[in-house]
């Protein structure tokens, strides 16, 4: 656009005053630049700020921030840390790019378009909170608290989740970290040893490390990896069970190239072999075991040969694994895994892992499962109130749980089915906090329909992830570098070192930019508008953290003074608790109508022409959460699909070919990726990294980069004991240049 | 230096300061506090003075078709500058263009520059490299008659990124309002690249 006058002419013209004078009357905003009474400064102050706790993944490494003025220029491990130490991983380093990502949410937004096809308008916090409060209250008043549901994730979602569950009183909360990840592991171990296992294996001091599906090196959690590497350096043998030659398999002494879905058969055969050949820890079982006889009976059919056939691996290899474990027991790390929602038969597999650990006597011993003893802090939150089980979807007509080993919350599809059918009651309001259900929960179209039928959907997040396209109101949250939130406690990473404990709390390294707010502020303001003013437990997040720290006679100020981390003397981690028991056979599980002895349930096989879709991690992304990070995207811009090289040759594919996918239900991938041919994967499966293929164009770096594996997980499989999803039960063919290519069954 | 006898320097610089401030004002998030009848008539006046009758007409047509002028501009502002589809078209921060991130080194350099001339960011301010603050800063320099500073600031800080920003806005804008505003800003800053700051005939 050109004006019909030059600037110079205009500025010199007699009419300048006539034009400019009225303009001055139109200026209403205060200037953000002021004359400074200060002496002009030539440089910005450099300083190191303590108290950071990383959240580029869930591991929570302790950080310090290097600042220049108020700008964060670098993140480093906190030298006082006895956990990650001065080390942080690539993602941890890239936190700066999240903080300053231009695509991040900045102000409250209102969707004046449609759900799924939004048109955003910036609004004030007051308007946003009024709208959230009014709408949620209206739904509660009309449909009852059960008319509201929540999909939370992450450290900041706990406080609002407790508000929803404890104060408002809805059971309809589904955490991805439970129902699409580790919940099965936790309840299976709870039903076996009475404790959720975390990843608490003393790998640093183990003689054998046994990994089932865990692919360290591709997943990176600093102190966890330190334990693993230390163990390997000390000479531990490594057994890796995986259909794919993962980064861990590459370091292994034995790689068991198992057929997907058959892991439990493999574990049962090992256990039966140990029992039959008396290679188990009889003394340990005498002392701590329950139901061992029933267990022995229950697994007795599992010969090595039977498992070898089922798992498509050599008999000799199963024997070799079993002997290696027995020879090094009890100093063996049987890793409980983390993301275990695989095939819909997962509870029994996780029980098997817990039992195998018991057979080897590998609890509370060097190299075994050792949880470490962390100091106690408070747990301030919304007060618990009894809201009864009348509207608990996880109850049958006799008031018995449908999924007795469900992790806390309600199994996702009970919520989604109720929302879609209106039975037993309608669910009309959704609060989505830090979770991206579009890319975490199988059945994307179902999820979209669930959201479509809501009266109101609100999202709180740091990034405009795919789910945020479905929000009516979208609130920008302060990131982990800009807020207080959790307290983390733990021990030194290597139990061979002097026993120590630590307490740290996440503190902001910089002030939040734009209008980002923290979870306590947002929740409290909504609570006020819904009439729960009296129930508010704390006014600010700093108050909450201080209250919890006071249990350990600490405060934020004191922590800060101590460099962000408070160290205490530790306790012997190997001391066996008095009440330790291990249930090889669990009567309660049997009473609930499920196998009380670990049992293998075969899974559906690939239809002809298809291969099973497997997915996993890459070291420089935390699934979808880091996809828009410029540095990380640059390092790993897409998710090539692994295909067995012989299969690829037969299909006429070579490295770098661009392919799409179509699954067994005819659902096509929206985007494409490249082929990676390798002998390091079975012929009946393909593999890709999870979390790619963002659809939201607001994520300008991530959008359409790679393929969204979740979009292909349309068949919904549910683990019968827990209600958690099985996510490796879908099958794909490839597409190339518009043509569908079958994947040959045998080569 | 030859001065224009009809236009005392003092008042010309004040007017130029006003023009910068008006541009800065126009880039604020639209709300009824400032986006008023008064604002619009000033805008039309400016377009008239610049011979921008075609632009004025486009703007008036767009406004006459709108059910809610303010909301329409709010949506457009959000889309272009905050979080927009298909992506935030033109973040109004220099660092995004020069450092490929918000709050890059450029934003420190500009803050230090403000300070070196005796200015600072107010407590309520946005990021140091925001377009609005750069225009406000220019306005102060003009008001102080600091032409050298103005010239240096434009050359060192403003012009290295603004054309990229302006081009993106012009390409992505759906409403004529922001196209016109970025053209104003272009108009009051761009020529300096070729001629240097010349408030009066040199
Ligand atoms: S492992 Fe990496 S991403 Fe995870 S918390 Fe530690 S530094 Fe952060």
- Residue to mutate among B102, B104, B170, B182, with most A CBs inside 10 A, is B102
Q: What is the per-residue pLDDT for A468?
A: 95
Q: Are A606 and A612 in contact (CB under 8 A)?
A: yes
The continuous run of DSSP H or E covering A431 comes out as strand A429-433
* pLDDT single digits (tens) A107-141: 999 999 999 999 999 999 999 999 999 999 999 99
- Residues in chain A with CB shorter than 8 Å from the CB of B126 are 32, 514
Residues 6+ apart with CB under 8 A from B90: B80, B81, B165, B168, B169, B172
Q: Are A147 and A431 in contact (CB under 8 A)?
A: no
* pLDDT single digits (tens) A510-542: 999 999 999 999 999 999 999 999 999 999 999
Q: Do B100 and A100 touch (CB under 8 A)?
A: no
Whether the pLDDT of residue B1 is over 50: the answer is: no
Q: Locate A464 and state its tokens.
A: 């405009």
Q: What is the per-residue pLDDT for B12?
A: 76
Whether the pLDDT of residue B149 is over 60: the answer is: yes
* Order of all β-strands in the sheet with A456-461: A120-122, A109-111, A473-476, A456-461, A429-433, A148-152
Give chain A's count of helices (H) and strands (E).
Answer: 24, 28
> Furthest-apart CA pair in chain A: how many Å?
105
Q: Are A326 and A205 in contact (CB under 8 A)?
A: no
Q: Are A21 and B21 in contact (CB under 8 A)?
A: no
Query: B43 φ, ψ to 5°?
Result: -60, -45
- CA nearest B103 in A: which residue? A100
* pLDDT single digits (tens) A646-699: 999 999 999 999 999 999 999 999 999 999 999 999 999 999 999 899 888 888
Mutate to test the pocket of ligand 1, among A77, A222, A635 (most ligand atoms within 8 A of CB): A222
CA distance A15 to chain B (A): 8
Number of Cα atoms under 13 Å in the Cβ half of residue A390: 8
Q: What residue segments make up the domains of chain B, in order of their start?
A: 2-194
Whether the pLDDT of residue B9 is over 70: the answer is: no
Residue A717, CA distances (Å) to A83, A341, A564 in order: 37, 10, 44
Q: Do B18 and A7 touch (CB under 8 A)?
A: no
Q: Do A23 and B78 touch (CB under 8 A)?
A: no
Residues 6+ apart with CB under 8 A from A199: A221, A224, A335, A336, A338
pLDDT classification of A627: cutoffs 50, 70, 90: confident
Q: Do A109 and B82 touch (CB under 8 A)?
A: yes
Share of chain A above pLDDT 90, in %: 89
Q: Is residue B170 within 8 angstroms of chain A, CB to CB? A: yes
Ligand 1 atom nearest residue A89's Cα = 2
Query: A566 φ, ψ to 5°?
Result: -100, 125
| Residue A221 near ligand 1, beta carbon < 6 Å | yes
- CA nearest A121 in B: which residue? B75
- From A14, A26, A105, residue closest to B38, measured CB to CB: A26
Give the mean pLDDT of A616-622: 88
Domain architecture of chain A: domains with CATH: 1-39 (no CATH), 109-180+377-478+512-549 (3.40.50.740), 199-370 (3.40.228.10), 611-741 (2.40.40.20)
Give chain B's count of helices (H) and strands (E).
Answer: 11, 1
Give the mean pLDDT of B63-75: 94
For ligand 1, atom 8: residue with the closest CA: A92
Residue A98, CA distances (Å) to A56, A64, A227, B91, B96 in order: 9, 16, 28, 16, 13
Average pLDDT, chain B: 87
| Residue A92 near ligand 1, beta carbon < 6 Å | yes
Query: B200 φ, ψ to 5°?
Result: -135, 165
Whether the pLDDT of residue A207 is over 60: the answer is: yes
Whether the pLDDT of residue B202 is over 50: the answer is: no
| Residue A565 near ligand 1, beta carbon < 6 Å | no
CA distance A578 to chain B (A): 55
Alpha-carbon span B107 to B129, nearest angstrom: 5
CA distance B82 to chain A (A): 7
Whether the pLDDT of residue B10 is over 50: the answer is: no
Q: Are A68 and B160 in contact (CB under 8 A)?
A: no
Q: Are A729 and A717 in contact (CB under 8 A)?
A: yes
Q: Are A91 and A626 in contact (CB under 8 A)?
A: yes
Q: Is residue A388 within 8 angstroms of chain B, CB to CB? A: no
| Residue A594 near ligand 1, beta carbon < 6 Å | no
Q: Are A529 and A133 in contact (CB under 8 A)?
A: yes
CA distance B18 to chain A (A): 6
Give the mean pLDDT of A171-179: 96
Q: What is the per-residue pLDDT for B86?
A: 59
| Residue A54 near ligand 1, beta carbon < 6 Å | yes
Lowest mean pLDDT among A171-185, A285-299, A628-642, B25-39: A628-642
| Ligand 1 center from residue A88 Cα (angstroms) | 6
- Residues in chain B with CB shorter than 8 Å from the CB of A7 are 187-188, 190-191
- CA nearest A699 in B: which residue? B87
Cα-Cα-Cα-Cα dihedral sign, residues A247, A249, A250, A251: positive
CA distance A128 to chain B (A): 15
Q: Do B137 and A119 touch (CB under 8 A)?
A: no
Q: Are B130 and B106 in contact (CB under 8 A)?
A: no
Alpha-carbon span B2 to B198, nearest angstrom: 11
* pLDDT single digits (tens) B84-101: 765 678 999 999 999 989
Q: Are A67 and A47 in contact (CB under 8 A)?
A: yes
Alpha helices in B99-175 (DSSP H): 105-116, 131-143, 147-153, 162-172
- Residues in chain A with CB shorter than 8 Å from the CB of B67 are none
| Ligand 1 center from residue A509 Cα (angstroms) | 16
Ligand 1 atom nearest residue A90's Cα = 2
- Residues in chain A with CB shorter than 8 Å from the CB of B2 are none
Q: Is residue A511 within 8 angstroms of chain B, CB to CB? A: no
For domain B2-194, the CATH class is mainly alpha
Q: Is residue B177 within 8 angstroms of chain A, CB to CB? A: no
Q: Do A25 and B38 touch (CB under 8 A)?
A: yes
Residues 6+ apart with CB under 8 A from A496: A204, A205
Strands A429-433 and A148-152: parallel
| Ligand 1 center from residue A447 Cα (angstroms) | 30
Question: Which of A223, A203, A199, A216 is CA-nearest to residue A85?
Answer: A223
| Residue A619 near ligand 1, beta carbon < 6 Å | no
DSSP A363: B
Whether the pLDDT of residue B184 is over 70: the answer is: yes
Q: Do A27 and B21 touch (CB under 8 A)?
A: yes
Ligand 1 atom nearest residue A60's Cα = 5
Average pLDDT, chain A: 95
Q: What is the per-residue pLDDT for B191?
A: 59
Alpha-carbon span B136 to B18, nearest angstrom: 9
Give the mean pLDDT of A448-473: 96
Residues 108-167 of B with CB under 8 A from A: 108, 111-112, 114-122, 124-127, 130, 132-133, 136-137, 139-140
Residue B41, CA distances (Å) to A31, A87, A496 in order: 22, 60, 77
Contacts by A110-115, CB closer than 8 A, 24 or more apart: A110/A472, A110/A473, A110/A474, A111/A471, A111/A472, A111/A473, A111/A474, A112/B71, A112/B75, A115/A451, A115/A452, A115/A457, A115/A469, A115/A470, A115/A471, A115/A472
Alpha-carbon span A12 to A32, nearest angstrom: 29
Q: Is residue A316 within 8 angstroms of chain B, CB to CB? A: no
Whether the pLDDT of residue B3 is over 50: the answer is: no
- Residues in chain B with CB shorter than 8 Å from the CB of A99 are 103
Question: Which of A106, A102, A109, A104 is CA-nearest to residue A124?
Answer: A109
Q: Do A35 and B190 touch (CB under 8 A)?
A: no
Question: Which of B105, B133, B29, B84 is CA-nearest to residue A103?
Answer: B84
The continuous run of DSSP H or E covering A474 comes out as strand A473-476
Look-up of token digits 């980069």? A705
- From A13, A99, A121, residue closest to B75, measured CB to CB: A121
| Ligand 1 center from residue A98 Cα (angstroms) | 13
Helix axes A292-299, A263-276, angle to 10 degrees: 120
Q: Locate A366 and state its tokens.
A: 């060097």
Whether the pLDDT of residue B7 is over 70: the answer is: no
**Cα-based torsion angle of the residue sequence A138, A142, A145, A150 in order, rounded to the nearest 10 degrees:** -60
| Residue A89 near ligand 1, beta carbon < 6 Å | yes
Residues 397-456 of A with CB under 8 A from B: none
Cα A232 versus chain centre, distance? 27
Q: Do A20 and B18 touch (CB under 8 A)?
A: yes
Q: Do A10 and B55 touch (CB under 8 A)?
A: no
A508: three-class secondary structure by DSSP? coil
Q: What is the per-residue pLDDT for A41?
A: 59
Alpha-carbon span A222 to A92, nearest angstrom: 10
Strand residues in A604-747 grouped as ranges (E): 611-616, 641-644, 658-663, 673-678, 685-689, 717-718, 725-726, 731-736, 739-741
- Residues in chain B with CB shorter than 8 Å from the CB of A71 are 103, 107-108
Q: What is the per-residue pLDDT for B11?
A: 67
Question: Which of A253, A248, A262, A222 is CA-nearest to residue A328?
Answer: A253
Mutate to test the pocket of ligand 1, among A89, A154, A635, A636 (most ligand atoms within 8 A of CB): A89
């Amino acid at each position: 656009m050109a004006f019909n006058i030059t600037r110079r002419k205009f500025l010199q013209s007699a009419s300048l005053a006539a034009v400019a004078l009225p303009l001055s009357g139109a200026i209403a905003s205060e200037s953000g630049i002021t004359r400074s009474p200060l002496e002009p400064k030539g440089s910005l102050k450099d300083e190191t700020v303590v108290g950071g706790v990383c959240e580029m993944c869930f591991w929570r490494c302790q950080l310090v921030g290097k600042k220049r003025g108020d700008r964060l220029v670098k993140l480093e491990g906190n030298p006082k840390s006895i956990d990650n130490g001065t080390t942080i991983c690539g993602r941890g380093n890239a936190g700066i790019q999240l903080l300053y990502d231009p695509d991040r949410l900045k102000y409250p937004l209102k969707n004046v378009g449609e759900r799924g096809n939004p048109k955003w308008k910036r609004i004030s916090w007051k308007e946003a909170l009024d709208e959230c409060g009014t709408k949620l209250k209206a739904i509660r008043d009309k449909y009852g608290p059960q008319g509201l549901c929540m999909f939370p994730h992450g450290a900041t979602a706990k406080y609002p989740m407790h508000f929803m569950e404890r104060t408002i009183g809805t059971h309809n909360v589904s955490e991805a970290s439970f129902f699409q990840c580790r919940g099965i592991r936790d309840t299976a171990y709870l039903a076996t040893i009475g404790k959720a296992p975390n990843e608490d294996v003393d790998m640093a001091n183990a003689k054998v490390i046994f990994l089932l599906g865990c692919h360290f090196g591709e997943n990176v959690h600093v102190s966890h990896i330190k334990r693993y590497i230390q163990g390997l350096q000390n000479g531990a043998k490594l057994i890796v069970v995986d259909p794919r030659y993962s980064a861990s398999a590459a370091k292994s002494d034995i790689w068991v190239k198992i057929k997907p879905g058959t892991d439990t058969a493999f574990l049962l055969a090992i256990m039966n072999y140990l029992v039959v050949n008396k290679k188990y820890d009889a003394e340990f079982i005498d002392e701590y075991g329950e139901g061992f006889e029933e267990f022995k009976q229950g697994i007795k059919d599992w010969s090595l040969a039977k498992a070898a056939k089922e798992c498509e691996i050599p008999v000799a290899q199963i024997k070799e694994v079993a002997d290696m474990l027995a020879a090094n027991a009890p100093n063996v790390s049987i890793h409980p895994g983390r993301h275990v929602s695989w095939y819909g038969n997962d509870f029994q597999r996780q029980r098997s892992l817990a039992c195998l650990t018991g057979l080897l006597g590998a609890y509370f011993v060097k190299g075994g499962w050792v949880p470490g003893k962390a100091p106690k802090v408070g747990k301030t939150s919304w007060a618990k109130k009894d809201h009864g089980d009348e509207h608990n979807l996880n109850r049958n007509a006799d008031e018995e749980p449908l999924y007795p080993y469900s992790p806390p919350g309600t199994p996702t599809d009970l919520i989604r089915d109720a929302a879609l059918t209106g039975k037993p009651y309608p669910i009309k309001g959704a609060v989505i906090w830090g979770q991206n259900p579009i890319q975490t929960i199988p059945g994307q179209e179902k999820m979209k329909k669930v959201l479509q039928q809501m009266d109101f959907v609100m999202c709180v997040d740091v990034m405009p992830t795919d789910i945020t396209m479905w929000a009516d109101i979208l609130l920008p949250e302060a990131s982990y570098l800009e807020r207080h939130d959790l307290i983390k406690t733990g021990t030194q990473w290597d139990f061979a070192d002097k026993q120590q404990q630590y307490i740290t709390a996440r503190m902001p390294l910089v002030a939040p930019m734009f209008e980002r707010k923290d979870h306590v502020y947002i929740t409290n303001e909504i609570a006020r508008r819904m009439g729960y003013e009296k129930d508010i437990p704390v006014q600010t997040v700093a108050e909450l953290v201080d209250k919890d720290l006071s249990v350990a006679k600490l405060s934020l100020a004191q922590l800060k003074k101590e460099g962000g981390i408070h160290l205490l003397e530790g306790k012997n981690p190997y001391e066996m608790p008095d009440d330790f028991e291990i249930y090889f056979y669990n009567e309660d599980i049997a009473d609930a109508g499920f196998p009380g002895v670990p049992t293998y349930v075969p899974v559906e096989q690939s239809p002809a022409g298809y291969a099973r879709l497997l997915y996993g991690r890459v070291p420089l992304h935390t699934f979808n959460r880091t996809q828009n990070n410029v540095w990380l995207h640059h390092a790993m811009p897409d998710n090539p699909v692994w295909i067995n090289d012989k299969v690829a040759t037969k299909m006429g594919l070579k490295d770098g070919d661009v392919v799409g996918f179509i699954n067994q239900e005819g659902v096509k991938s929206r985007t494409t990726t490249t082929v990676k041919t390798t002998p390091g994967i079975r012929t009946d499966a393909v593999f890709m990294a999870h979390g790619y293929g963002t659809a939201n164009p607001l994520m300008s770096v991530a959008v359409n980069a790679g393929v969204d594996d979740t979009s292909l997980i349309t068949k919904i499989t549910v683990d019968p004991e827990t209600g958690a999803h099985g996510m490796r039960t879908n099958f794909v063919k490839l597409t190339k240049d518009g043509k569908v290519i079958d994947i040959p069954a045998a080569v | 230096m030859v001065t224009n006898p009809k236009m005392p320097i003092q008042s010309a610089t004040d007017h130029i300061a006003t023009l910068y401030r008006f541009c800065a004002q126009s880039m604020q998030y639209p709300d009824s506090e400032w986006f008023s009848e008064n604002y619009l008539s000033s805008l039309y006046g400016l377009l008239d003075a610049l011979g921008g009758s075609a632009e004025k007409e486009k703007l008036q047509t767009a406004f006459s078709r709108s059910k809610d002028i303010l909301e329409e501009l709010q949506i457009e502002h959000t889309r272009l500058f905050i979080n927009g589809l298909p992506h935030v078209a033109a973040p109004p921060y220099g660092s995004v263009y020069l450092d490929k991130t918000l709050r890059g080194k450029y934003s420190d350099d500009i803050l230090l520059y403000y300070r070196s001339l005796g200015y600072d960011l107010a407590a309520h301010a946005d990021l140091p490299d925001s377009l609005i603050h750069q225009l406000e800063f220019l306005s102060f320099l003009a008001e102080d008659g600091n032409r050298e500073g103005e010239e240096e600031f434009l050359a060192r800080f403003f012009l290295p990124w603004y054309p990229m920003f302006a081009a993106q806005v012009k390409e992505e804008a759906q409403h004529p309002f922001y196209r016109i505003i970025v053209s104003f800003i272009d108009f009051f800053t761009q020529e300096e690249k070729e001629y240097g700051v010349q408030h009066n005939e040199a």
